[in-house]
Amino acid sequence: MKSNNPDFAELLREYGSKATPGRVTLLKVLWQEDKPISVAGLKKKLDPSFDEVTLYRALESLTASGLIREVDFRHGHAHYEMNALREHHHHIICTSCGRVEDTECRVQEAKLTKASAFRIITDHTAEFFGLCNSCIKTA
Amino acid sequence: MKSNNPDFAELLREYGSKATPGRVTLLKVLWQEDKPISVAGLKKKLDPSFDEVTLYRALESLTASGLIREVDFRHGHAHYEMNALREHHHHIICTSCGRVEDTECRVQEAKLTKASAFRIITDHTAEFFGLCNSCIKTA
DNA sequence: ATCACAAACGCAATATACTTGCAATTGAAC
DNA sequence: GTTCAATTGCAAGTATATTGCGTTTGTGAT
Ligand SMILES: [Mn+2]
Ligand SMILES: [Mn+2]
Ligand SMILES: [Zn+2]
Ligand SMILES: [Zn+2]
């Protein structure tokens, strides 16, 4: 739970989307989550009448606009988190208990454009996998 | 195509796998590839009698042992590349033409264990997406 | 060389994650 | 309030990967 909720309808419009009731609710759920959430997780938090296909299409659309972001935790399905109004970052995931921690981005894309045949790098992934301290103890 | 082929059967045994004819062939194909290849790509290069389920199980097993590595190009399916006998690295992928280039790893996992509640980091992903120089020109 | 057995295989069935087609609805711009 | 592209809802479909299970095989031990 967070305070100072942004105006989700306005935010959606700023990113070129229509501010439908479903998308406003979806965005609110993503805002309240403190870590990337799966489609299954979203369905549980949303009204059962929220159509699954509509959900997939909203996620695709909002990801394309950059309002939200898709993250790969190697669970065989996508996770999503708020991208706007947040600082760019990555994650450390415990492969034993699933615990997730944000971690600051230390990647410098600019250096890569000098070392490669790519002049434009738009985006990158960087997730870390390991064991959190409580899982180390019980191991 | 590369010269100085390693002994694939011996390599498989070193990584705790049985050196079956199928796995030896699979490993050879992965060795000859210069970039991560999909399951569909592998099937094309392998004998049609190579069972698909056997292929999936071999990939899972060899990935678990660290002999090969799974890479996510955001194509909706996995890609695999040789991991043993190679230096750890990452990739830059052109989102327009699919061109792939290796890039050296600049990530320092050790620094992360100090900044987080994780003492053990075993693994990380880091792939870069952008436009290669020939796709920039034609854009 | 033979044996024992876990690992790997082959085939059919199944599961999960996600996509497509299309008619109906609706938010936003004018 | 009219217009229209964006979005929705439902049904059907696709792609990717997994599971179950009986059979085969590579490997280490004798
Ligand atoms: Mn998950
Ligand atoms: Mn591919
Ligand atoms: Zn980053
Ligand atoms: Zn690395």
Question: Is residue B3 a part of any domain in this protein?
Answer: no
CB atoms within 10 A of CB B43: 13
Kindly report the three-state secondary structure assignment for every residue of chain B.
CCCCCCCHHHHHHHCCCCCCHHHHHHHHHHHHCCCCEEHHHHHHHCCCCCCHHHHHHHHHHHHHHCCEEEECCCCCCCEEEECCCCCCEEEEEECCCCCEEEEECCCCHHHHHHHCCEEEEEEECCEEEEEEHHHHHCC
The pLDDT tens digits of the residues spanning A57-115 come to 999 999 999 999 999 999 999 999 999 999 999 999 999 999 999 999 988 888 889 98
Q: What is the CATH number of the domain that holds A23?
A: 1.10.10.10
What's the CA gap between A69 and A79, in Å, rounded? 8
Whichever domain contains A114, its CATH number is 3.30.1490.190
Specify the number of domains making up chain A. Answer: 2
3-state secondary structure of A105: coil
Of A67, A82, A97, which residue sits at a domain end? A82
**A133–B115: do the CB atoms touch at under 8 Å?**
no
Q: What pLDDT does B108 receive? A: 86
pLDDT digits (tens, 9 = 90+) for B71-130: 999 999 999 999 999 999 999 999 999 999 999 998 888 889 998 999 999 999 999 999
Query: B57 and B117, same structural domain?
Result: no
**Which range of residues forms the domain containing residue B57?**
8-82
pLDDT 10s digits, A20-63: 999 999 999 999 999 999 999 999 999 999 999 999 999 999 99
- In this complex, the residue with its CA at the shortest distance from the C1' of nucleotide C27 is A18
My answer on whether A32 and A97 are in the same domain is no
Is residue A3 domain-resident?
Answer: no
**Domain co-membership, A68 together with A115:** no
Calculate the angstrom distance between C1' of C29 and CA of A21.
Answer: 19
Residue B131's nearest CA partner among B95, B82, B100 is B95
**Residue A34 sits in the same domain as residue A73:** yes
Query: pTM value?
Result: 0.93
Residue B126 lies in a domain: yes
Note whether B13 and B77 are same-domain residues.
Answer: yes
Name the 3-class secondary structure at A34. coil
**B78 and B124, same domain (yes or no):** no
Which residues 40 to 69 of B reach strand C, CB within 7 A?
A: 49-51, 53-54, 57-58, 61
Q: Do A116 and B101 touch (CB under 8 A)?
A: yes
Q: Are residues B66 and B16 located together in one domain of the fold? A: yes
> CB distance from A97 to chain B under 8 Å?
no
Our measurement of the distance from residue A47's CA atom to the centroid of its chain's CA atoms, rounded to an integer in Å, reads 20
Residue B1: pLDDT above 70? Answer: no
pLDDT in tens, B24-34: 999 999 999 99
Domain check: are B116 and B63 in the same one? no
A17 and A74 both lie in a single domain: yes
pLDDT at A110: 87
Residue B137 (CA) to nucleotide C18 (C1'), in angstroms, measures 34
Torsion of CA A23, A29, A35, A36, to 10 degrees: -30
B37 shares its domain with B52? yes
* Percent residues over pLDDT 90 in chain B: 89
Question: What was the pLDDT predicted at B3?
Answer: 67
Q: Are A53 and A98 found together in one domain?
A: no
Q: Is A115 within 8 Å of chain B by CB? A: yes
Check whether residue B15 and residue B66 sit in a common domain.
yes
Q: Cα(B87) to centroid of ligand 1, in Å?
A: 30
- Tens digit of each residue's pLDDT (9 = 90 or more) over B7-24: 999 999 999 999 999 999
Do the domain assignments include residue B132?
A: yes
